[in-house]
Amino acid sequence: MERNVPEIEKLISPKQKTVRRILSHLLFFLVGAGLLYLFYRGAAQEGIKRYEEDLLGRDGWGNFLTLAGAETEKTFDSPIFKARIPFNAIAPYWKEENVPGDSAREMFVRTSWDGQNFTDWMEVESLGPLRDNDPQPNRTYPEVPLLVEGRFFQYRFVLKRADGGMSAPKISDLKITYIDSRTSKIKKIGNWLKRLTKSSLAAEQGPSIVSRAGWGSPDPYGSLFKGTSQYWDPSYVPVTQVFLHHTVFTNQTDPAAAVRAIWEYHTYTRGWGDIGYNYLIDQNGTIYEGRFGGDNVVGGHVYGYNQGSLGVAGIGCFETASSSCQGASPPSPAMLTSLTTLLGWKSANYEFNPNTTQTFCSNGGCLNLWTISGHKDAGSTTCPGNLIYDQLQTIRERTWNNKFGWALSAKQVDYEVIRFGNYATDRSITIRFKNTGTAAWSNTTNRILLKTANPEGRFSPFQGTGWVDAQTPAILTEASVAPGQIGSFTFNLQSPANAHGYYWESFRLVSEGNSNFNQFFTLIIQAPSYNWEFQGVSHSKNSVQMAPGETQTITLWAKNVGTATWTK
């Protein structure tokens, strides 16, 4: 039966229909781009709100909490505090003495919208440093803030000791930070656009991952703190180990807001300059990019065991024995599917067996671990919670099954620092990648290209001569690279005259036709270090000896390779 077609439609030729379809797609793209601009402009204007407050001295107990006399246990319940803003994340932190373990000190927080109806008391699982070279190693923090909404809060400390003759635990310098990382209604436009682009993301190799820009990071490309003491220099160690985490209590329906809250807490409250996890996954199965820097970047999630490990956090609370996990439910099938897909892809990229044990050595020492382990296997914590931990063997087996079949996958082989001695002078470099996928690479058909990344289409200030174009440094050198073999890219870099110090330049591999490997790799570049830089050229004295007390006149010729002009 013929469908009911409007008469006007019957008058349009196939060619006209094609033109109309193209124009409609173009209009759709332009409208989407305009909405995307509005989204980012609104998000930038609104920003994430964060406040930190001192609590001791406002609660009637003075400047510290401790046990008096022969007391062996005491509970300290604070007054009810009203936050300056509504919040969706909250975290206390403090200094402590004479606390041999968590049994000597317990800390709880509860929150409320009206100051009368409160949540249950939520235990704050406290930890010391997580990031290597932690800027605040002497404070006790939770790994992540409690992801709970409210306007009022109250805290409770329980201090204990075995007998009155022991040194009493002491709490001082108690502070709290609360964060509002939610955005206005314009965020819905961003979510809508993200759904529209999902099909193109899924066409890339590897799982679909929401970029830092996609989840609304205030520092999408890792440059916000460049040149300041807060900048967390990316460093790289090939990944051979995975640690799983959870983000503790959350009563929120916007996972991206939770990611922003964790970023804010790690970046500012803990002073790290970035989020500590490499990836985060919500209950819908959405994967979020974490720590800036690309493949093999060292994060901050297991103190002493960050180098060579990948940190992945499930957004939610998965420890049934914790009061922070009120009504805890297991990770959803969607979360587990995305987790095992991500880890299968990464185990292919990094060439490790996800279902075996190993001796994993990092700067904290050596441990015998499963290649996919929980945070608790390398630290004193319940993270990632028993509801994830009890499924680790299933996760390993599913990851193993997902390791194979990735057509385009690569492992970076070279990590040397690229150092320049002169400005505006080509330096030829070769960077090599191992083909860890199942498809052969070619430099003739569907050529494998090295392109700039983070963001894609970026113009590199280090572009040298001979690039294919401004976003493409090189084409695969070898005619063909079979799976398991090494491919190379040779190209020129130049240091611009205004560059100094270290830079992290991001690149990606693309199969021509824009089939993205969905990975990006980073080169560490050291520009000529100082404005006042020279190279020795020659000298006027051929003798290499001077007798004790002898005076000689020697003329030195030096080349000014810095950016400043020399004057007498």
Structure tokens at 329: 């439910």
Helices 392-402 and 333-350: angle between axes, nearest 10 degrees: 60
Task: Give me the mean pLDDT over the 261-267 stretch.
Answer: 97
CATH topology of domain 50-180: Jelly Rolls (2.60.120)
**Hey, what's the torsion of the CAs at 212, 218, 222, 228, to 10 degrees?**
-160
Q: Which of 278, 289, 336 is nearest to 312 (CA)?
A: 278
Distance from C-alpha of 126 to C-alpha of 142, rounded to nearest angstrom: 4
Per the model's pLDDT, the better-predicted residue between 466 and 200 turns out to be 466
Distance from C-alpha of 277 to C-alpha of 364, rounded to nearest angstrom: 18
Per the model's pLDDT, the better-predicted residue between 513 and 354 turns out to be 354
**pLDDT at residue 548 is higher than 80:** no
- Residue 447 burial (CB count, 10 A): 15
Predicted pLDDT of residue 549: 72
The predicted-structure confidence for 428-482, as pLDDT tens digits, reads as follows: 999 999 999 999 999 999 999 999 998 888 999 999 999 999 999 999 999 999 9
The predicted-structure confidence for 82-131, as pLDDT tens digits, reads as follows: 999 999 999 999 999 998 876 789 999 999 999 999 999 999 988 777 78
Predicted pLDDT of residue 514: 64
- 473 prior amide bond cis, ω within 30: no
**Hey, what's the torsion of the CAs at 209, 211, 212, 214, to 10 degrees?**
-110
Predicted pLDDT of residue 530: 57
> 76: pLDDT confidence band, cut at 50, 70 and 90?
very high
The predicted-structure confidence for 268-298, as pLDDT tens digits, reads as follows: 999 999 999 999 999 999 999 999 998 899 9
Per the model's pLDDT, the better-predicted residue between 506 and 42 turns out to be 506
Distance from C-alpha of 380 to C-alpha of 13, rounded to nearest angstrom: 71
Tell me the torsion sign for CA atoms 194, 384, 310, 459: positive
Q: Which of 112, 42, 46, 125 is nearest to 82 (CA)?
A: 112
**HEC profile for 294-337?**
CCCECCCCCCCCCCCEEEEEECCCCCCCCCCCCCCCCCCHHHHH
**pLDDT at residue 488 is higher than 90:** yes
Asked whether the beta carbons of 240 and 307 are under 8 A apart, the reply is: no
Superfamily of domain 205-402: Peptidoglycan recognition protein-like (3.40.80.10)
Superfamily of domain 410-526: Immunoglobulins (2.60.40.10)
Tell me what the pLDDT averaged over the chain comes to. Answer: 84
**pLDDT at residue 150 is higher than 90:** yes
Phi, psi of 142 (to 5 degrees): -75, 155
The ranges assigned to domains in the chain are 50-180, 205-402, 410-526
Predicted pLDDT of residue 253: 81
DSSP structure class, residue 190 = H
What global pTM score does this model have? 0.82
